[in-house]
């Protein structure tokens, strides 16, 4: 029974119970509401019928009393309007009653659904009862197993007491082993210290070995590089030796020609020196010294050693400036004085005949064709 109460407290069961209760309450509320609305509609219908009867009675009474046809017709029309309004209200009440009946039918369907849920809940309850019976049987089995385990636990307690005695003996042995382990630990610590020192020395030696190995590899690479350079230089030397041998052969072939050309060059150099000496002598013989010169027209020309000149006409006009002269031309520059239309610098081609300066016929020289003889 307690299991059944606990089963009823489960969420699914509680949910189904709540849904069933809500369904019944909803059905009752809808049924009560529908009954009230039906009563109200019946009352409204009765009131409408009463009003219609009263209107008909009033109409008959007025027809009998007054005899006024027009008034009766007007009242009749009004009564007909009231009757139509009452009929409309009656039809609305009937429609509302139909809607309420439909709601009642819908409520009946929902009630049937709730009844089906209740039937399902009943089936689940029966299934839960079956599970409860199975659990009760399992409980009995577990109780028997617990009794067996209790007996085994008692046996274990006895064995535990024996084990405690053995533990005391083992504890004494453990104390002795602990003392021996302390001594061994001290020895192990000393050994580890020595081992650490040895490892550090080995690490240092490994580092040195790695450095030596790297240096050896680098030296090997340098040796290979130097060997390659030696091979390249040897090949280059052989090529140069072949070139030298070739050049030596060409030199042996060209040496007589060079000697012959050297002798010819020496001869030509001597001939050139002799020619230059003769030219110098000729220039010295043909050179026009500085001094005073005069043309047949009376034009005077003075050439000074400092490179200045002065040209004078018979009418007293004169021109001063600078000159340069070689064996082919006389160049007058920086002229000042009565130069007239003449332009400077003035270049006049000349030829000298002893101490006479002869100006060649040159259209660009105003002195063309004049001969200046040395004199005062």
Q: What is the mean pLDDT of each run of 10 residues along the chain (376 residues)?
A: 57 71 78 76 77 72 61 68 73 72 70 71 69 72 73 71 72 73 72 75 81 81 84 85 81 82 83 70 53 87 90 88 86 88 85 73 82 79
In a domain, 134, yes or no: yes
> What pLDDT, on the 0 to 100 scale, is given for residue 286?
45
Q: Mark which of 84, 118, 152 sits at the end of a domain.
A: 152
DSSP-derived secondary structure letter, 289: P
> What pLDDT, on the 0 to 100 scale, is given for residue 180?
76
Instruction: Let me know if 38 is exposed, middle or buried by CB neighbors in 10 A (0-12, 13-18, 19+).
Output: middle
Q: Domain residues for 330?
A: 289-374
In a domain, 242, yes or no: no
CA dihedral 86, 90, 96, 102 (to 10 degrees): -170
CA end-to-end distance (rounded Å), the chain: 178
> What pLDDT, on the 0 to 100 scale, is given for residue 321?
94
Q: What is the pTM of this model?
A: 0.27
Number of domains in the chain: 2
Residues 355/372, Cβ–Cβ less than 8 Å: no
CA dihedral 354, 355, 360, 364 (to 10 degrees): 150
In a domain, 85, yes or no: yes
Report how far apart, in Å, the C-alpha atoms of 49 and of each of 79, 89, 90 are.
13, 11, 9
Q: Mark which of 133, 152, 171 sits at the end of a domain.
A: 152
> What pLDDT, on the 0 to 100 scale, is given for residue 308?
93
In a domain, 341, yes or no: yes
In a domain, 243, yes or no: no
Domain harbouring 24, CATH code: 1.10.287
In a domain, 206, yes or no: no
Q: Mark which of 131, 152, 173 sits at the end of a domain.
A: 152
In a domain, 362, yes or no: yes
Domain harbouring 349, CATH code: 2.40.128
In a domain, 181, yes or no: no
Give me 28's structure tokens.
Answer: 């009752």
Residues 367/293, Cβ–Cβ less than 8 Å: no
CA dihedral 319, 321, 325, 328 (to 10 degrees): -50
Which residues have CB under 8 Å from 290's CB, separation 6+? Answer: 303, 304, 305
């Amino acid at each position: 029974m307690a299991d059944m109460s606990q089963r009823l407290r489960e969420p699914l069961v509680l949910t189904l119970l709540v849904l069933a209760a809500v369904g019944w309450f909803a059905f009752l509320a809808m049924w009560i509401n529908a009954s009230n609305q039906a009563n109200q509609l019946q009352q409204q219908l009765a009131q409408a019928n009463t009003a219609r009867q009263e209107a008909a009675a009033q109409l008959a009474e007025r027809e009998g009393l007054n005899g006024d046809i027009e008034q009766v017709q007007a009242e009749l029309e009004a009564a007909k309007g009231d009757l139509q309004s009452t009929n409309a209200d009656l039809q609305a009440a009937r429609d509302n009653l139909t809607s309420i009946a439909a709601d009642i039918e819908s409520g009946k369907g929902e009630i049937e659904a709730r009844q089906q849920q209740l039937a399902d809940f009943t089936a689940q309850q029966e299934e839960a009862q079956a599970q409860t019976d199975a659990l009760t049987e399992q409980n009995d089995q577990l109780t028997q197993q617990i009794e067996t385990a209790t007996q085994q636990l008692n046996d274990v307690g006895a064995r535990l007491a024996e084990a405690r005695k053995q533990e005391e003996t083992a504890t004494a042995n453990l104390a002795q082993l602990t003392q021996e382990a302390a001594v061994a630990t001290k020895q192990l610590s000393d050994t580890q210290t020595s081992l650490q020192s040895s490892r550090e020395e080995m690490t240092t030696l490994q580092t040195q070995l790695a450095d030596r190995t790297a240096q050896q590899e680098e030296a090997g690479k340098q040796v290979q590089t130097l060997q390659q350079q030696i091979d390249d230089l040897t090949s280059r030397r052989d090529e140069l030796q072949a070139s030298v041998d070739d050049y030596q052969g060409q030199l042996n072939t060209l040496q007589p020609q060079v000697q012959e050309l050297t002798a010819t060059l020496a001869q030509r150099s001597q001939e050139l020196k002799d020619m230059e000496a003769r030219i110098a002598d000729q220039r010295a013989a043909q050179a026009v010294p500085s001094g005073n010169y005069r043309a047949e027209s009376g034009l005077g020309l003075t050439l000074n050693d400092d490179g200045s000149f002065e040209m004078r006409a018979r009418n007293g006009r004169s021109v001063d400036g600078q000159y340069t002269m070689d064996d082919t031309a006389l160049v007058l520059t920086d002229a000042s004085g009565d130069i007239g239309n003449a332009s400077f610098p003035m270049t006049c081609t000349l030829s000298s005949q002893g101490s006479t300066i002869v100006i060649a016929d040159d259209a660009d020289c105003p002195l063309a064709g004049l001969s200046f003889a040395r004199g005062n």
